[in-house]
Amino acid sequence: MAETFDAVRRAVGCQSAVLESGLTVLVRPMPGYSSTYAIYGTRFGSIDLDFEVDGKTVHLPAGTAHFLEHKMFESEEGDAFARFAKTGASANAYTSFDKTCYLFSATDKVDENLDILLSMVNEPYFTEATIQKEQGIIGQEIKMYDDSPDWRVMTAIFGCLYQNHPIRHDIAGTVESIASITPDMLYDSCRAFYNPGNMVLAVAGNVTMEQVLAACERAKLPARPGSVRRIEADEPAAIARPEARFSMQVAKPCLGVGFKEAPVRGVKFEVICDMLTEVICGGMTPLYRTLYDQNLVNPGFDGEFLALDGLCCFMFTGETDQPEKVRDMLLAEIERLRTEGVDEELFTLCKNQLYGEMVQDLESTESAASLLAGSFLRGCRPGEELEALASVTKQDLDDALQTMLRPERSATVVVDPT
């Protein structure tokens, strides 16, 4: 197994460079592939609401990072989506809790598409009129999220677990919060977080490092001196409230169980957390088989974890006609594992499964570029997650269970059909 891990780690390896502007460039040439996938990302997400830039304190309304993502496609030259369409590329962007990424996939005119990608992010353009127009567009998007039971369960879990952390706010904000966004706020955000030193350009597929560096040279990315300091919320250890229940148009009740943990970061820690969700209710576990065989949950019932600055939590979600019973069975299984320890065979199966998923990610240009960008934005090296997985032992999981996933730091969310 160790030799196999070494082979895959070498396959993850990519070509890298740090430009004079501070931008990190990561390229994974994939000979024989017809497509190229590029991601231009920055460490700026929905939780970055309060910061200091060049001595100026800035407080942003919820949804600013997502709003800025939308505005970056506009310029005095027109809409970047239209420019990408003319080259035949497929372009998109997304904002998460801690990052914003702009991307394209193309089988042709890669150089031209790189030029479009770099210029649209490097040359922000905001006016009162264009902001007002976008407020209406994003307001409709916010209403769409309000109709998603999965999204509502997740945001309700955060609201139960956290008292002050900005994770409590929806990524897109609210209609009221985005109404207060101004051009100055967006320019302040660009100056603070759209600095090349805070960004990464990750490209994978039918491309060379020379092509990507040439595009960066043409873009004339400026080195932007200055500093930004995030202002973290004072978050107590206790949860905000133990439960939330509401109704919406769903075919079956939805359950969410969340656990608030100490805000620890680190690649190995995150791999351990990932494995904990798999050994508790993954498809190979006794709990999942029991829940599924008794028709208590749908096949989509699963667990996940989230680790950000000042935050770490677990969430277990799915549809069930008996939410209280499923929650109690989940808590009982966690307690059993805490007492008896993780089964050795199950640990090995889950470890191999995660390893297989990592290997599979290397076969896709999209996944490979996402892996490279994600590594930088999380502050780690490409392939470091694989190295951490190789070092994780059953004892690591048993030790983690002694302090994590405690019922006193849990909260339950139930969505009933209207």
Q: How far apart are CA 254 and CA 318, in angstroms?
A: 6
Encode 38-105 in three state secondary structure: EEEEECCCCCCCEEEECCEEEECCCCHHHHHHHHCCEECCEEHHHHHHHHCCEEEEEECCCCEEEEEE
Q: For the purposes of burial, counting CB atoms within 10 Å of the CB of 107, is it exposed (0-12), middle (13-18) or buried (19 or more)?
A: middle
Residue among 20, 69, 344, 384 flagged as catalytic:
69
> What tokens were used for 72?
């970056």
- The question of whether 69 is a catalytic residue gets the answer yes
> What tokens were used for 136?
């209406």
Relative to beta strand 302-308, strand 228-230 is unpaired
Spell out the residues 6+ positions from residue 172 whose beta carbon is closer than 8 angstroms to its own: 46, 63, 66, 138, 141, 142, 145, 178
Residue/partner pairs of 266-269 with CB below 8 Å, 24 or more apart: 267/378, 267/380, 267/384, 267/385, 267/387, 267/388, 268/388, 268/391, 268/392, 268/396, 269/307
- Active-site residues: which are they? 69
